[in-house]
Amino acid sequence: MRTIKLMSILAVVIVLITSQSCKNGFLEGVNDNPNSPSEVTPRVLLPGAEGNLAYALGGDLGRYTALMTQYVTGASRQFASYNSYVFTEEDFNNLWNNLYAATMKNYFTIIQIEEASPGNYSIYDGIARILMAYTIGLSTDVWGDIPYDEAFLGNEQLHAPYNTQEEVYNRIQSLLDVAIDEMSNDPGDDFDVPDANDFIYGGDAASWISLAHALKARFYIHLINVDPGYAQMALDEINAGGPIADAEYPFNSAGPGPWYQYIEQRDDIAYDGSCLQLMQTRDDPRYGVYVDVNGDYWGPGYLGPFFSADNSPVWLMTEFERKFIEAEARFRTGDAAGAQTAFTEAIQASMDFYGVDGAAYIAANGTLNAGTELEQIMTEKWIANFLNAESWVDMRRTGFPALTSNVPGTPIPTRFVYPTNERLYNSNATNAESDMYSPKLWWLP
C-alpha cells in the first residue's frame, strides 16, 4: 500500500496512471483539470475516479481477463506470453495502483468529506459508496483477500492489513445498502448535485439507486457456491431495483478510450478467440459489431469501432447483464418459466444494445432445454458481455462456458498474482507469495 501513502489527494485526481505492463501510459487526457482547483472537493475528486475506473476496466483488467475468457488471443510480444498464462507479479503493479491510489482513494476521500459535513455532498457520497463497492468487488474477484478497512489511512497505516474475501463481500453489500438509503432520502436544500461532474449518470440519484440494486444482485449471485440461498437474494434485488440505464463512462478524441489507445500504440492482440469463433458458427448478428469485418476503421479482423473508436465508452454494467442475472437466479430458484422469459429478454436486450436485429438468432438459440439451462444462460451471457471482466467471474464460478486451456495440461488461471509492491512494502501482505491459482478464492467451487 506504499504507493497510496505517497500520493497527495490532488495528485490522485490528475495522475496519469499507466494501464499497461510495459509502462507506456494510456490515460492521456482523462483527468486533466483546466481550472487547477485549489480546494479538493467531491466535484474535483469524482470525475477523475470515474475515469480511472473506466481505464482499469478497459485496460489491463479488461485485456488480461479477455485472454482467460478467450475473447481474444495474444499475438506477439508480452501478450504472446500471456496467452500461455505466463504472468509475473510486475504485470499487476499498474492495475493495483490504479484501482487503489487513483480510484478507491478518491472514493474514500469523498466519503470522509461527507461524513465531516453531513448533507452537503450526500449524492456524491452515495455515488462514491456505489463505485467503491464496485471497485473492491473487481479487486477481490481477481485477488481474493485484499486490504480495505485500513487501506486509505495514509501515514496512520503504512502496512494495511488484508481483509478476507468474505469480509470484503460483506463490505460490498454494506456500502450499497448505505448508498441506497442515503440517495433515497431528501438531501435538503443545501446539498451539491454532481450534474456534469458525474460522467456516468449526471448525478441522477434514481439511476444510481437502480444500479446499486443490480450490483447487489451481481455480488450475491457470485456466492452461489457458498450458499445456494444467495440466488433468491439476488432475485430480490433484481425485483427491488428494476431496469437500469446502462452505466457507461464516455470518452472522446481529446481523451480517447483505452482500447483505441491500445490498438494505436501496441496492437499485439488478435480478435479470434473461442467466443468469436462460436459467434461465426451461429451466424450471430453481433459478430459484425464486435469485429471490423470489412476493415472500415482499423482494418479487416480488428476490434470493431463500437469498442475501439476514440469515443467508445466503457461499460460498468448493462441492462442485459441484469436480465441474465435474473435468468440464472430464477433457474436456480426453480422458476423455469421465469428463467425462460428473462433469458429471452436478456438476449433481446443485448441485441438492442448492439443495434442489431436478433429475431432469427433468438428463434434458433433462445429456448432453454432441460438439463442444459445453466450452460445456455452462461454461454449467452458470455457472448453478450464481450470484453467484460465479469465473464471471468462467471466462468470460474459456474464452469461455463467450458473452455479448453490454451496450454495442454495447464488449467486456465483462476486468479491474479499479487503485485510486486505489496510483497516488498506491505508487511501485512501475508499471502503475497501467490500465483495464478493459489491461494484459492473463497467463492470458488
pLDDT per residue as tens, the chain (445 positions): 444 433 333 333 333 333 333 433 333 333 444 333 346 899 999 999 999 999 999 999 999 999 999 999 999 989 999 999 999 999 999 999 999 999 999 999 999 999 998 888 999 999 999 999 999 999 999 999 999 999 998 766 678 999 999 999 999 999 999 999 999 987 665 578 899 999 999 999 999 999 999 999 999 999 999 999 999 999 999 999 999 999 999 999 999 999 999 999 988 999 999 999 999 999 999 999 999 999 999 999 999 999 999 999 999 999 999 999 999 999 999 999 999 999 999 999 999 999 999 999 999 999 999 999 999 999 999 999 999 999 999 999 999 999 999 999 999 999 999 999 999 999 988 776 799 999 999 999 9
User: Was domain 2-425 assigned CATH 1.25.40.390?
Assistant: yes
DSSP class of residue 416 equals: P
CA distance 29 to 48: 10
Helical axes 258-265 vs 60-68, angle rounded to 10° = 80
Contact 212, 130 (CB under 8 A): yes
Beta-bridge mates of residue 74: 269
User: Which pLDDT belongs to residue 16?
Assistant: 36
- To which H or E segment does residue 170 belong? helix 165-184
What is the grid cell recorded at 196? 456534469
CA distance 290 to 307: 7
CA distance 5 to 20: 22
Contact 390, 396 (CB under 8 A): no
Amino acid letter for position 252: N
> What are phi and psi for residue 23, nearest 5 degrees?
75, 10
CA distance 346 to 365: 12
User: Which pLDDT belongs to residue 187?
Assistant: 65
User: Which pLDDT belongs to residue 9?
Assistant: 35
- To which H or E segment does residue 302 belong? strand 302-303
Amino acid letter for position 436: M
- To which H or E segment does residue 247 belong? strand 247-249
- Name the pTM for this structure: 0.91
User: Which pLDDT belongs to residue 303?
Assistant: 98
User: Which pLDDT belongs to residue 189?
Assistant: 58
- To which H or E segment does residue 315 belong? strand 314-317
DSSP class of residue 90 equals: G
